Each structure stands twice: as structure tokens, then as C-alpha cells.
Amino acid sequence: MDTNLSFSSRRSPVLCLHGCAASSQPIASSLGIDILKRGGNAADAAVAIAAALAVTEPCSTGPGGDAFCLFYNGGTGEIRGINGSGRLPMAQTLDFLEGRGYNAEAPPSPSDALNVTVPGAPACWCDTVQLFGSHKLSLQEVLSGAAELAEVGFPVAEVTAHQWAKWVAALREAGKELGGDLLINGHAPKCGQVFRNPNLARTLKELGEHGKPAFYKGRVAQAIVDIINQSGGVMTFDDLSSHDSEVVTPISTEYKGVRLWEPPPNSQGLAALLLLNILDNFPLKAAGHNSSDYIHVLVEAVRLAQTDAVRYLGDPDHVTIPLETLLDKRYSHQRAQRISMGRVMEEVEPGLMTGSDTVYFCVIDSQGNACSFVNSTYMGFGSGLVPKDCGFSLQNRGASFSLRRNHVNCVAGGKRPYHTIIPALLTDSATTLEKTVLLAALGVMGALMQPQGHVQVLLNMLEFGMNPQQALDAPRVYVQYDHTTDQWSVNLEEGIGQEVADELRRRGHKVNWPITGHKRSQFGRGQIITVGDWWNPSVNQTDPPSRVLWAGSDPRADGCAMGY
């Protein structure tokens, strides 16, 4: 495959009236639209898409991972969420890990069985349909399209084939072999090759028929426990059977007439809100899109926001998080004053997170409901462990814990880690309205790129008047901390000018430019659906709001938006 793959899409935004779905696989988006046409709502369609992506993109997602969901109720304007992240086994304490010879400097390898946390995605799927679904379709009907896809097979898409091969190779380099359910004759499938997964089809059918107990209390749970214990982990049947999702109230902040909603901790949604609050102190539109001034301020704000997120963010069941203080505009104003336009900040304490593969997707239906959803196995296939006859790999989300005693994100039995995956919603911030008015469902997957991506695509629309597709097509910036060199680096995507890269270097930034080809995956893969064209500067804001849906899908992935 061409390593210089071009991602300039030149796509038009998708426009529709009755419903829209956007995901990283066309087959998955199509299944979501099918659910809407059969009387399901946005939540039903999102779960159908989640399951279809588990089939078509197992190098990013699946039942062995975690999920988060935000749901906007078109009737009431209420926004609620589900935290579908799993916990560490109860026996897996810091003392236990230190007894095995591990410490902060030498933790278990990323694919170690000790990094498998309880998969939260299947419970999140079930709870999303139960709490937010139309109740016109059963869970079995919602999952049937994905089950059939796994049974009959599908041709593997181009970017997915590249990622599949990359993560199989990474596991082999670590001395691990991916389970045969996810290979063809021991190899990753090639682009265009038809892949079948009858064991995953069976797992999805059982989940559809019997709900959560089919996964957490039946043969699947036993298979998970068996493979983890055979591989040196300590997860028990009780760890799985006691798992449940958490219904959460999203957190938000206001920015120039709109309100951005994110999941609360243990998710890193807080980082996106902190970043937006800091940027609110700067004239970004005047700086110009992707100019050296714009990128300099963005980079410095990311460093500040990420530092705070990593310092304070953990499982709220185990630590107290000063959310009100952190989201206070006075606090962000104080943080913003640390940024100097002429020179990079010297000292900003960094985070401890690594990269990930994840899927983000969103749906808006004809009743005005919206579901913003993200699902992930963390690093590619996660641990690479595939429970017998189940058809999916187990995540390695535990790799994001710290082994430093007293750290807010320190490992503990039954604890959830600092979680990178975050779906988002955007509403009008006006308080005079009868109910909260939805403006968009949006998200950009990709570990610590996610809050950076959310804010960049939002600013592309809000400050620079781009439509959803243009906002996703535009070149992005990724601010990264490199533990080997103890330095922050600024990765600039192809399309940002050399003069910008040179000026940022002059101000003291370590710049990698241009990032091209498949290496552009580090900038995440996003989806956006907006209600109306509020981002268009030529629209008369006194006109009645449009109910036309505008959608974009990231050219860095294989997917598309579809409407009807």
C-alpha cells in the first residue's frame, strides 16, 4: 500500500432532513441508517454502529473494550451520559504488582494480561438501548445487522487493513500472537479481502438475546477469565459479574455563544473544556487559521490543560476532583497569563499517556435526538488476548494507570483509569430558551489527540466559518510529550506551511513537519453532524433555525456520513 496515502478529501458535506449517521466505516453508517428507517432512534442506531464497527474494525474497537455515550433528548433538551469504562480486578493492587517486581519505572508491558480491565462496552450498549432507545426495536434487532455482517463477511477497507497489519506486527514484536479469530491463515487481512468472524457473530447474537448476563455471567465471562489467568492475570468471574455502567451528568463550558458538553471524570473530557477555557482569552480569529500565532497559542494551551488534567483527573470513586475550581473562567484566565507570544514556556509538567486506536461515531434522528458515542480497545487490539470462541480481543486500558503511590491515577483494585475516550455534544448557550438547543454531535478519536481534536474542529467551524466536512479536512496539530527525550513536540500535518513550522521553531518549539501518509493517523479520525448551518458567517442569525442536518466524516479514515 502507498505509504504516502493522500487524505485531502474534497468531499461535500452530507445534507439531509430526517436522520444522519457518521462513522469510520460506510457499512456501519449504513446499518445505523437502517435502524432509523425501521423506527429506531439515535441511541438504537449508535449501538448498531458500535457493534458493526466491532466487526469491521477490530483493530480499534470491540466488545472487549470500553465505551462512553452522550445522549441529547430532542423532546426535553436534557443531556445525559453513560460511563461504560471497566475496572481493574479487585486483587490487582499496587502491593500485588510490586510483589511481582513491577514499579513506576518498570511497569507491566502494554500487552500484558495485567493491563486488561473489565470490558465495559457490552454493558454500555445494553444500557444505551434501555435508557435512551426508542423501545420500538429490541436489543436483538439492534445487534442483528452486525451479527449478520460477522457471519457473512465483509471486504476490509483500506486504512483499516493498514492499521490491522500494523497492530498485528506490534504484538509480534512484543512476543505476542493475536488470537486466530482475528486473522486469516495467521495473517492480517489485506485491503479488499473478505473477512468473516463467526465467533463474534455468536457473541453478538447471545448478547442480543440475553442482554448483559450473556456477556458478564455466561460462557463469554468464563472464557475471559480463563485466558487472562492462563496469561498471568488475576481477573475473576466476580470482577466481571459485578460490573455495571454508570449514568453520568456531563460537564460543560461556554465559549462565544455555544456550550461544549463532555463526559465527566474518569474521562478526559475535562481536558477539552480546560483547553477551550484557556483559548477563550486569545483573539484566535484575528490570528488566522493555522498561522504561527494561532498554533503557538494552541500548543501552549494544550500543554497547560493536559498538565492539569493529568494532575487532577482519576476515578471519582477513589479521588476528589476540584471540577468547579478547574472550570472557573478566572482559573483559566490565570493559566492563560503564563503564555507568552514570543517564546515557548520553559516548565510545564507533562502527562503519562500513550497512543490509542478508537472509533468515534454519531447519529441524529428525525425527532431531534442525538447520540455521540466512542468505543475503544485502547492500543490497537489491546492486549491481543482473544477469549476462546468469542471473536474479539481484550483491551489493555490498565496500561494508562500510574504505579506511583499516592498519584491520583495510581493503580488500585476495582479502580477505573484516567480514560482518554470522549464523545461530545454542542448546544446553544443561551439561557433564555425554553430548552437546550442542540447544535452538533462531534468527536475526534485518538488518545490525547481527542481533546485537542475536539477543540480544533470546533474552532474551525465557530471562528473560521468552515462546514463540518471542511472542519475535518483541515490540517491538524498534535501536541505530544516524548518520555525518551523529556520534551514536548509539536506535530504539524501536511498542508500547514513551512514558514509556520520555521517560525514555531524560532519561538522554541520542537516541531515535526510535515506529517504525511499513514502517519497522519496520529491526528485522530473525527465525525461531525450539525443541526443547521450556524457556523456559516453569512447566515442571518435572526432567521428561524434550520432543521437541515449537515455532516462530515474524516478523510483520515475509511468512513462516511449518510443521511435520509
Q: Name every residue whose Cβ is closer than 8 Å to that of residue 120 and which is 6 or more positions away in sequence.
A: 65, 66, 67, 83, 84, 85, 86, 243, 245
- The CA-based angle 255-259-262, given to 5 degrees, is 115
CA 281 to chain centre: 27
d(CA 494, CA 3): 14
Whether the CB-CB separation of 373 and 24 falls below 8 Å is answered with: no
Is residue 236 exposed (0-12), middle (13-18) or buried (19+ Cβ within 10 Å)? middle
Q: β-pairing, 511-515 with 487-493? A: parallel
Alpha carbon distances (Å) from 206 to 51, 62, 97, 150, 482: 13, 15, 35, 14, 43
Cell numbers 492500543 label which residue?
Answer: 379
Annotated binding site: 447
Name the DSSP class of 315. Answer: -
Annotated binding site for L-glutamate: 447
Residue type at 59?
C
Alpha carbon distances (Å) from 3 to 72, 118, 162, 557: 40, 36, 10, 14
Residue type at 137?
L
Whether the CB-CB separation of 15 and 528 falls below 8 Å is answered with: no
User: What is the largest distance, in Å, between two alpha-carbon atoms of the chain?
Assistant: 67
Name the DSSP class of 330. Answer: H
Q: β-pairing, 251-255 with 258-262? A: antiparallel
d(CA 299, CA 210): 48
Per-residue b or e along 41-72, where b marks 16 or more CB atoms closer than 10 Å to that residue's CB: bbbbbbbbbbbbbbbbbbbbbbbbbbbbbbbb
Q: What is the 3-state secondary structure (H, E, C) of 162-194?
A: HHHHHHHHHHHHCCCCCCHHHCECCECCCCCCE
Cell numbers 442536518 label which residue?
Answer: 549
Q: β-pairing, 549-553 with 525-531? A: antiparallel
d(CA 505, CA 363): 41
Q: Name every residue whose Cβ is closer than 8 Å to that of residue 381 and which is 6 or more positions away in sequence.
A: 58, 59, 167, 168, 171, 178, 182, 393
User: One of 358, 377, 427, 530 is an active-site residue; which one?
Assistant: 358
> Is 427 assigned a catalytic role?
no
Name the DSSP class of 416. Answer: P
Calculate the CA dihedral of residues 83, 550, 548, 31 and round it to 10 degrees.
-60
Catalytic positions, written as ranges: 358
